[in-house]
Structure 1
Amino acid sequence: MSQPSWQGALTQTLNQLAQNSNRVPRVAIIGMGHEFNGDDAAGPVIARALIERTAGSHRLLVIDAGPAPENTTGALRRFEPDLVLMVDAAQMGEPPGAVRWLDWEQTTGVSASTHSLPPHVLARYMVAEFDCHVALIGIQPFANQIDAPLTPGMQATVADVIDALTAALID
């Protein structure tokens, strides 16, 4: 049986959370990555676009965390999310531009060397402290060159991810 798409996994998770709590889930999106490292900037670029699109939503919190996502825990604690989505460029051994839904417990081998704290360590903390679900939306980079913009391929992938997240999460 094939693995569901990341959009399918998101929809399934949102539906399960809604059934369990009898309300629309509160979702936090954390865009992670280094803005001056080529395609590693995908997470922050996605976050900034979603911040504009989700203004005024009371069930969504979007944070551009840059290379230090651990600095978001205060805002997350106040928001009380049901689901935290970390969005990040990740070396997954996939073709460039591939987007995958990754369970945080399966991300110990995913390379995220531009962060001061590995995503799985932060995820373990969030699950324990906030009693929430955590997943990583990983995007396989085309290139990570210092002091370079997103590659054209990553720009297209980022646009697709922004559109899909908007469609799934905007009221």
Structure 2
Amino acid sequence: MAVVGVGQTLKGDDAAGVLVAQVLVKRQRAGSSDAPRPAPFSLLVVEAAHAPENCTGAIRRFAPDLVVLVDAAEMGDPPGTIRWLDWRDTAGLDVSTHTLSPSMVARYLVAELRCEVALIGIQPQDTSLGAPVSPPVRRAVRTVADGLSAILLAPRPDP
């Protein structure tokens, strides 16, 4: 499995996906030295910044069965709202703050890797240049990172 954090860290809440990836990387590294058993999944975490298309080589080499894209998504919801989005339903919608839409990245990954792709969207409050990450989005980042960590980084039970 691969988790790809997408976003521009200089644009406030647009950093949400990258922040989730950073938390996962930190937890993955912290757990690798003292975890008595391996995690249940082979996991690649990618901080893709604003151009996930530039990270497809690493994802292709890893060859995951599932890629989860995490991104700030303009969904018309209150700031910090988290939604699982079907990438096929995001084509043509203003769901991402980036020039290459999640649906285009997902379509490429599905065609190239024959993998499943999921999209976690976090509703931003402010994506203007130089803005700080808002409290609702910080909470959402923590919620998403905690949920993914619980599933992906938890040690396997003894057989």
Opposite residue 96 of structure 2, the aligned amino acid is A
CA distance in 2, matches of 1:47, 1:145: 21
CA distance in 2, matches of 1:116, 1:66: 12
Shift of 1:97: 1.0
Structure 1 residue runs of 4+, over 3 Å off?
55-58
For residue 96 of structure 2, the aligned residue among 112, 122, 127 is 112
Is there any run of 5+ residues in structure 1 with no aligned partner, and where?
1-26
CA distance in 1, matches of 2:119, 2:3: 10
**TM-score, normalised via structure 2 length:** 0.85
Mean CA deviation greater in 159-168 or 140-149: 140-149
RMSD of aligned Cα (Å)? 1.4
CA distance in 2, matches of 1:81, 1:65: 16
CA distance in 2, matches of 1:110, 1:165: 25
Q: Paired residues, what number?
A: 144
Percent identity over paired residues: 50
Opposite residue 103 of structure 2, the aligned amino acid is H
CA distance in 1, matches of 2:51, 2:19: 15
Secondary structure (helix, strand or coil) at the match of 1:54 reads helix
CA distance in 2, matches of 1:111, 1:154: 16
Structure with the larger RCO, 1 or 2 (CA within 8 Å, 6+ apart): 2
Shift of 1:116: 3.6
For residue 45 of structure 2, the aligned residue among 62, 72, 75 is 62
Is there any run of 5+ residues in structure 2 with no aligned partner, and where?
33-38
